[in-house]
Structure 1
Amino acid sequence: MSFFKKVLSSVGIGAAKIDAVLDHHQAAPGDELTGVIKVVGGSVAQEINKIDLDVVCNYTVEVETENDDVVTEVREYTLARFVLDEKFTIESEQHKEFPFVLALSEDTPLTVGHSKTWLETNLDIDMALDKSDKDYVHVVPNTLQQAVIDTLESLGFKLYEADCEGIDSMSFAKLPFVQELEFKTIGGQFHGHFDEVEVVFFNRGEQLEIIFEIDRKARGLVGFFKEAMDLDESKARLLISSDDLPHLADMINHLLEQHC
């Protein structure tokens, strides 16, 4: 009977279970994730080789096929990893807990639109399939990011879409993708001037770098041809710190007025 149970546990039936329990499911880029990893023994004693705890996110990239078609492919990227690299034995029905502290990267994308971030826990068991646990983390803007979003909304913009898109060059980003937040005008002085404004955040320690891609609304025949040739887009850069918050609305308003 014991041998039969071992065979079943090796294919996942009656094997040990793992669960990562977060103290808080909401965090901002740069915050710490804390919690406990719970391991519960199965029907037989098993040796655990190690436990991996990964912070993972998704992004999309356009890939050209053999038929010269372009398809969108969803990929995953590991932002951070915590490894408990100590072998131990979990007895049948035994409960073990391991606390963890994991720093959330400053480059972690916000949970908005199609962008998702989760905690993936893997249990490495001898002669058995890895047991995995997946827990989503709601990544909220930090103080500076939220101030930019609030300012754009006060100027008549509305965040309507966001996505993490793969990039070819890594010269200005640490990751193989950037998160674009796309805003549409629904009112205010810029309504009718811009099709949309895309914003990319780069956290730089105590500062926030903001890249604006401004898509001007086509006006007249010249504007129509500029739009058709993608010549109506322009880019701007802003670097802010907490000292700039009292004047942030004026700074962004002035930047956008220069591209009307």
Structure 2
Amino acid sequence: MSFFKKVLSSVGIGAAKIDAVLENNEAAPGDELTGVIKVVGGSVAQEINKIDLDVVCNYTVEVEMEDDKVVTEVREYTLSRFVLDEKFTIEPGEQKQFPFVLELAEDAPITVGHSKTWLETNLDIDMALDKSDKDYLYVVPNALQQAVIDALQALGFTLYESDCEGIDSVSFSNLPFVQELEFKTTCGKFHGHFDEVELVFFNRGEQLEAIFEIDRKARGFVGFFKEAMDLDESKARLVINEGDLAHLEGMISDLLEQHLG
């Protein structure tokens, strides 16, 4: 019977279980994640080689196939990792807890639209399939990011879509993707002037770099041909810190006014 149980546990039946429990499942980029990893023994004693705790997010990338068709693939990227690299034995029904402290990467994407971020805990067991647990994490904007979003909303913009899109390796980003936040105007002085404004954040320690891609609303035939040729988009860059918060709305308004047609 004991041998039969070991065979079953090696394929996941009656094996040890793992769960990562966060003190708070809501965090901003750069915040510290704290919690405990809980391991519960299965039906037989098992030796645990190590525990990996990864913070993972998803992004999409367009891939050209052999028949020239372009398909969208969903990929995963590990933002941060915590490793408990010590062997131990978990007895049947035994419960063990291991505290962890892990920093959420400052370039972690905000949880909005299709963007998801989660904790993936892997239990490395001798002579068995790795057991894993997946717990979703809600990434909220940090103070500077939220201030930019609030300022755009005060100027009549509404966030309507967001996606993490794959990019080629570039010097300005440590990630294989960028998160684009897309805003539409619903009211205010910019309503009717822009089709949309796309925003990309790059956290730079105490500063935030915000890249705006401004799509002017086409007017007449000239505007129509510019839009058709994709020439009506322009980019602007704004670097802000805590000292800019009091007049941030005015800074963004001035930046957008420079791109009015």
> TM-score, normalization: structure 1?
0.99
Instruction: Point out where structure 1 has 5 or more consecutive residues left out of the alignment.
Output: none
* Aligned partner of residue 9 in structure 2, secondary structure: helix
Task: Give the equivalent residue in structure 2 for 1:18.
Answer: 18
Task: Give the equivalent residue in structure 2 for 1:253.
Answer: 253
CA distance in 1, matches of 2:4, 2:247: 70
* Partner deviation per Cα, 1:90-139 (whole Å, 9 max, x = no partner): 01110000000000000000000000000000000011111110000000
* Aligned partner of residue 106 in structure 1, secondary structure: coil
CA distance in 2, matches of 1:212, 1:169: 20
1:77-226 alignment, distance < 5 Å:
77-226=77-226
* Aligned partner of residue 256 in structure 2, secondary structure: helix
Task: Give the equivalent residue in structure 2 for 1:244.
Answer: 244
* Aligned partner of residue 54 in structure 1, secondary structure: strand
CA distance in 1, matches of 2:32, 2:81: 13
Q: 1:171: how far off?
A: 1.5
Task: Give the equivalent residue in structure 1 for 2:31.
Answer: 31
CA distance in 1, matches of 2:128, 2:168: 38
CA distance in 2, matches of 1:134, 1:245: 37
Q: What code does the residue aligned with 1:121 have?
A: T
Count how many residue pairs are aligned between Structure 1 and Structure 2. Answer: 260
Task: Give the equivalent residue in structure 2 for 1:64.
Answer: 64
Q: What code does the residue aligned with 2:72 have?
A: T
CA distance in 1, matches of 2:145, 2:215: 21
Of the structure 1 ranges 165-174 and 209-218, higher mean CA displacement relative to structure 2 is found in: 165-174
CA distance in 2, matches of 1:48, 1:253: 57
Runs of 4+ in 1 over 2 A off after TM superposition: none
RMSD over aligned Cα atoms: 0.5
Q: 1:80: how far off?
A: 0.5
CA distance in 1, matches of 2:135, 2:12: 20
CA distance in 1, matches of 2:114, 2:190: 27
* Aligned partner of residue 133 in structure 1, secondary structure: strand
Q: What code does the residue aligned with 2:58 have?
A: N
CA distance in 1, matches of 2:3, 2:71: 49
Task: Give the equivalent residue in structure 1 for 2:75.
Answer: 75
Q: What code does the residue aligned with 1:205 have?
A: G
Q: What code does the residue aligned with 1:182 have?
A: E
> TM-score, normalization: structure 2?
0.99
CA distance in 2, matches of 1:5, 1:141: 47
CA distance in 2, matches of 1:214, 1:71: 27
* Partner deviation per Cα, 1:53-107 (whole Å, 9 max, x = no partner): 0000000000000100111110000000000010100011100000000000000
* Aligned partner of residue 226 in structure 1, secondary structure: helix
Task: Give the equivalent residue in structure 2 for 1:46.
Answer: 46
